[in-house]
Each structure stands twice: as structure tokens, then as C-alpha cells.
Structure 1
Amino acid sequence: MKNVKITILKTTLDAELAAQYGVPGLTACPMMREGQVFYADYAKPEGFCDEAWKAIYQYVFALAHGDGKTLFYHGDWIAKPNVAICSCNDGLRPVIMKLEGTDEEAERSYVPVR
């Protein structure tokens, strides 16, 4: 299993939806910062948002176990192998992330329960 590099590309705020549905003074995500980098295998990295992890963990898992050459969804989503661009589930202030498979072996070893 390989490590997956998670880079925070963008923190956003949909001002129109936030004005309609958000609490007063809502801002872009206070937990994540553009340029922040995390490394993960099958477990959520320290300091990473729980809700964002729920949105991306299946892609992290796939990249950690992939061959480094395969395009997601048969090549009709991302043009670069071993990369996924994802966002968290916050509809008012989504965080956009780049996930990249690496050649670095993960420190943890996953042992399935039998």
C-alpha cells in the first residue's frame, strides 16, 4: 500500500447560498487552508477534517492500492493517471482537494480480519 498526497487546492464559499441558508458571518472553511498537504493510506491523517475524510476516503483507498497508471472512471473524469480532484460535502463552503498516489510505502500495514 502506498501513501496518498492530499493537497488543499481551494477553499470556497458560495455567497449566494450562504446568504440564503448559512448562519450570519459564515466564511470559507476554517479548518483547511489552501496549500496544506496531508499524507494518508487507509486512515484519516492527523488534523484532517472528519467530514472531508468521509467524502474522499474511497478515492484515497483506491489510489493507495492502485497501480499508478490507471485513470479514474475509465478516463472520462481526470486526464492524469494516479490523480483525483475531489471536494468535501459542505454545499455552502466546499474545499477542493487534489489526491495523488505516491511511490512511498505507507507506514501502516493493513491486515484484514478473518
Structure 2
Amino acid sequence: MKKVKITILKTTLHEDLANEYGVEGLSTCPLMNEGQIFYADYAKPDGFCDEAWKAIYQYVFALAHGISDLWYYKDWIKTPGVAIVSCNDGLRPVIMKLETTNIESKPE
């Protein structure tokens, strides 16, 4: 099993939805920052948002175990070993890039 590199690409805010449904002063995710990098395999990396992990762990697990074919009938991602995913926060989703690496995963 290999480590998967998780790069935070964007922290977003749907202002129209946040204004209608969010609490006063809601802004982008306070837990994740653009450019931040994490490495994972079967376990959530330290400092990574619990809810974001719940949204992406199945992709991390698949990439860590060597999936190399294009996903979803080749109509989603053009680069093997990469997935662009987001967390479940509908008001301020965080967009992430997952990439396979050559870093061997070791039990802790």
C-alpha cells in the first residue's frame, strides 16, 4: 500500500447559500488552508478535518491500493492516479486533489 498525497486546492464559500442558511459571519472553512498538504493511507492524517475525511476516505483507500484505471467510465478525471474531490459542507466546500505516490505505507 502507498501513501496518497492530499493537496487542498480551494476553500470556497457559496455566499448566496451562506447568506440564506448560514450563521452570521460564516466564512470559508477555518480548518483547511489552500496549499496545505497531507499524506494518508487507511487512516485520517493528523490535523485533517473529520467531516472531510468521511467524504474522501474511500478515494484515498482506492488510490492507496493501486487503482490506476480512470474512474467513472473515463468521463471524470483524465490523469490516472488522481482524483479531485470535495468535503460535504454545502455552504463552504473544500476542494482537494488526491494523488498516488511511491511512498510506502508503514503501520504505526
**TM-score normalized by the length of structure 1:** 0.92
Q: Could you list the structure 1 runs, at least 4 aligned residues long, displaced by more than 3 angstroms after superposition.
A: none
Matched position secondary structure for 1:93: coil
Identity %: 72
Is 2:58 the counterpart of 1:58? yes
C-alpha RMSD of the superposition: 1.1
Match of residue 99 from structure 1:
98
Spell out, residue by residue over 1:61-80, the C-alpha distance to the aligned partner (whole angstroms, 9 max, x if none). 0000015x311223111000
Q: Does structure 1 residue 83 correspond to structure 2 residue 66? A: no
Q: Does 1:4 align with 2:4?
A: yes
Q: Counterpart of 2:38?
A: 38
Which segment drifts farther, 74-83 or 24-33? 74-83
Provide the residue aligned with 1:49 in structure 2. Answer: 49
Letter in 2 for 1:66: G
Q: Over residues 34-74 of structure 1, what are the superposed CA-to-partner deviations in whole Å (9 max), with x where a residue is unaligned?
A: 0000000000000000000000000000000015x311223
SS of equivalent residue, structure 2 residue 3: strand
What number of residue pairs does the alignment pair up?
A: 108
Describe the SS at the equivalent of 2:69: coil
In structure 1, runs of 5+ residues without a counterpart are: 110-114
How many Å separate the matches in 2 of 1:42 and 1:73? Answer: 22
Task: Could you tell me which runs of 5 or more consecutive residues in structure 2 were left unpaired when the two chains were aligned.
Answer: none
Give me the TM-score of the superposition, normalised by structure 2. 0.96
Q: Partner letter of residue 15 of structure 2?
A: A
